[in-house]
Amino acid sequence: GLSRRAVLGGAGAGLAVGAAGGAWGGRASAHAPADGVTLGAARVPFHAARQGGIVEPAQARVEWAAFDLLASTGRDGLAALLRGWSAAAARMAAGEPAAEGENQIALDAGPSSLTVTFGFGATLFDKAGLADRRPAALVELPAFPGDALDPARSGGDLWVQIGADDSLVAVHALRVLMRLATGLAAPRWLMSGFARTPGATPHPMTGRNLMGQVDGTNNPRPRDPDFDATVFAAGGDWMAGGSYAVLRRIRMLLEGWDTLPLDKQERIIGRRKSDGAPLSGGPDAVERTPVDLAATDGDGVLRIAPDAHVRVAAAASNGGAAMLRRGFSFHDGLLPDGSPDAGLLFAAYQADPARGFVPVQQRLSRGDGLSRYLRHEASALFAVPPGAPAGGYVGQQLLE
């Protein structure tokens, strides 16, 4: 079969699914597939040192599902669940049927860059008799000013993230994994999101969110010397090579936002809306022009406002705190007042949330111009273990 990388390398075929992109948002296009090669053929191997769905570019579709372990499941049942889930995920990622006699939602499509990422919530460890193995970094997130969290859509013992460039492939994987959980874990909440489809733009570029901004520019990049230390847990325990995922369902107050004049929208972020260039860089700046937080105009006024999102969120403003953002948009119909239930399924991966999301959100929730247009409605933190060893399953390092 064709691996995603083989498709990327694709002998000048002009097909580059997610090439040169990365979770920081760069997307490549698949506008000219070579004969017999489709977007669906791209695949991400399931068995690897690290789980997929963290550093790969955000796929066109995501499903997030949280589960709670049933009281009768215990440690052995958890191991059985993770074994079954991993085996099915590995088969689907390779483009094979998940099981004999399964329903055929994804029939005809390739794996479409399917990734399945598993995470463990803090509440899992007591229930599975593993309290002594709960990582110190897996704490409860503090409450932040302005939080409007729905407990029914927050937390969870287990988390599954399914990403694919085809919606039927993603939803098929969700159905398969939900069925495998029957009798062992109960679904707690589900969320669906989307991002730009590869090939929708004529050249690779960072995606946009539902406020219209280029989003993902200043993410850590795998070639940065401190990338691994920022994103992946070190140390000799079972979490080595894993990461911690902070999830927030952030509704955007789009009706208010959409009526703001363009210059106000740009001041609130600190970047131009058309191309994402920083406001500190003058008219010739491009998206990748480094942000200069000290730059002033002729009157000595800061070009990037004191409450601009990129200033308040920057590592330089937060004692070096950094994270890899890999969010998706959601648009789930209307609220009772007629406004759109839409926004960002925010996900941030880091080696330790206390040195990533937490200090940054503490500052954002107090002094970020963007927060007036946002509502954080659900929240979760999961330990994302390292990848499944060859022939093994995700979580094996914890359970064996």
| Interface residue list for ligand HEM (CB under 6 A) | 209, 211, 213, 215-218, 248, 250, 252, 269, 271, 291, 309-310, 313-315, 343-344, 346, 357, 360-361, 364, 374
Residue 197 sits at the vertex; the CA angle it makes with 374 and 188, to the nearest 5 degrees, is 55
Instruction: State the catalytic residue, choosing from 157, 215, 307, 368.
Output: 215
Shortest approach of ligand HEM to residue 137 CB, angstroms?
A: 16
- Beta carbon nearer to ligand HEM, 110 or 356: 356
User: What is the closest distance, in whole angstroms, from the C-beta atom of residue 74 to ligand HEM in the complex?
Assistant: 36
Smallest gap from Cβ 361 to ligand HEM, in A, equals 4
Q: Give the number of other Cβ atoms within 10 Å of residue 290's Cβ.
A: 10
Smallest gap, in angstroms, from Cβ of residue 194 to ligand HEM? 15
Beta bridge partners of 249: 345, 378
Instruction: Mark whether 215 is an active-site residue.
Output: yes
State which residue, 65 or 211, has the beta carbon closest to ligand HEM: 211
Q: Could you tell me the smallest distance in angstroms from the CB atom of residue 273 to ligand HEM?
A: 9
* CB closer to ligand HEM, 216 vs 369: 216
The three-state (H, E, C) secondary structure of the chain, written as one string? CCCHHHHHHHHHCCCCCCCCCCCCCCCCCCCCCCCCCCHHHCCCCCCCCCCCCCCCCCCCEEEEEEEEECCCCHHHHHHHHHHHHHHHHHHHHCCCCCCCCCCCCCCCCCCCCCEEEEEECCCHHHHCCCHHHCCCCCCCCCCCCCCCCCHHHCCCCEEEEEEECCHHHHHHHHHHHHHHHCCCEEEEEEEEEECCCCCCCCCCCCCECCCCCECCCCCCCCCCCCHHHHHCCCCCCCCCCCEEEEEEEEEECHHHHHCCCHHHHHHHHCECCCCCCEHHHCCCCCCCCCCCCCCECCCCCECCCCCCHHHHHCHHHCCCCCCEECCEEEEEEECCCCCEEEEEEEEEEECCHHHCHHHHHHHHHHHCHHHHHEEEEEEEEEEECCCCCCCCCCCHHHHC
- Closer to ligand HEM by CB, 121 or 216: give it: 216
How far apart are CB 189 and ligand HEM at their closest, in Å?
19
Please identify, using beta-carbon distances, which residue of 239 and 360 lies nearer to ligand HEM.
360
Give the nearer residue to ligand HEM in terms of CB position, either 111 or 356: 356
- Nearer residue to ligand HEM within complex by CB, 92 or 344: 344
Residue nearest to ligand HEM (CB): 218
> Is 65:178 a contact under the CB 8 Å cutoff?
yes
| Smallest separation (angstroms) from ligand HEM to the CB of 138 | 18
Q: Which residues are catalytic, by number?
A: 215
